[in-house]
């Protein structure tokens, strides 16, 4: 590659020994050898990739030539059948896309209907609750109800202290009645 002979290599070694000294020369040689190996491997990788690209390009060119030669050699019946197959494939794609769109529209419509039904049921429940409360408030108060309300003793509301839970106990007078 560089066409270096033994005498030239010996001359470079002696100059390196004088310039770098005996302690640093082995380290410098290892570093230079490492660089040379890295450059060689890089060159080999680039060469390999270029060879693969050339092979790929040649393959693509040969495929194009075969396709062009094959199209000219096809009979008119085969050309017509190929065109029919392409048209059929296009129509199948179109019907498939149309069916997907109609299903999407139907799903959207059914979702809208279910939302409207839910709103209607909610409003009908609210409407049915209104008459119930009206019916209880419009009930006539009888004299017996007034007497029971007057004799009833109001119970004082006692709130338990926080963290204390009181159990309900019954008194002996309440158990007898």
Task: Write the pLDDT tens digit of every residue in 108-136.
Answer: 777 777 777 777 776 666 555 545 444 44
Task: Let me know: does 68 contact 60? Beta carbons within 8 Å.
Answer: no
* DSSP H or E segment with residue 88: helix 76-137
Tell me the pLDDT band of 75, cut-offs 50, 70 and 90. confident
pLDDT, mean over the chain: 75
Task: Let me know: does 25 contact 17? Beta carbons within 8 Å.
Answer: yes
CA angle 10-15-18, nearest 5°? Answer: 125
Phi then psi for residue 3, to 5 deg, are 60, 55
Q: What is the mean pLDDT of residues 93-110?
A: 80
Task: Let me know: does 166 contact 160? Beta carbons within 8 Å.
Answer: yes
* Terminal C-alpha separation, the chain: 122
Task: Let me know: does 16 contact 25? Beta carbons within 8 Å.
Answer: yes
């Amino acid at each position: 590659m560089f066409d270096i002979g033994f005498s030239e290599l010996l001359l470079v070694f002696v100059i390196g020994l004088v310039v770098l000294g005996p302690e640093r020369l082995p380290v410098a040689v290892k570093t230079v050898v490492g660089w040379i190996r890295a450059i060689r491997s890089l060159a080999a990788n680039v060469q390999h990739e270029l060879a693969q690209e050339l092979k790929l390009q040649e393959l693509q060119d040969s495929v194009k030539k075969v396709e062009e030669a094959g199209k000219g050699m096809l009979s008119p019946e085969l050309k017509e059948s190929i065109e029919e197959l392409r048209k059929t494939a296009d129509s199948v794609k179109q019907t498939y896309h149309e069916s997907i769109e109609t299903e999407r529209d139907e799903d959207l419509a059914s979702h809208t209907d279910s939302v409207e039904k839910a709103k209607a049921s909610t409003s009908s429940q609210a409407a049915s609750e209104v008459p119930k409360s009206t019916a209880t408030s419009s009930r006539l108060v009888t004299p017996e109800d007034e007497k029971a309300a007057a004799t009833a003793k109001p119970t004082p509301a006692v709130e338990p202290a926080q963290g204390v839970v009181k159990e309900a106990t019954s008194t002996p007078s309440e158990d007898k009645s």
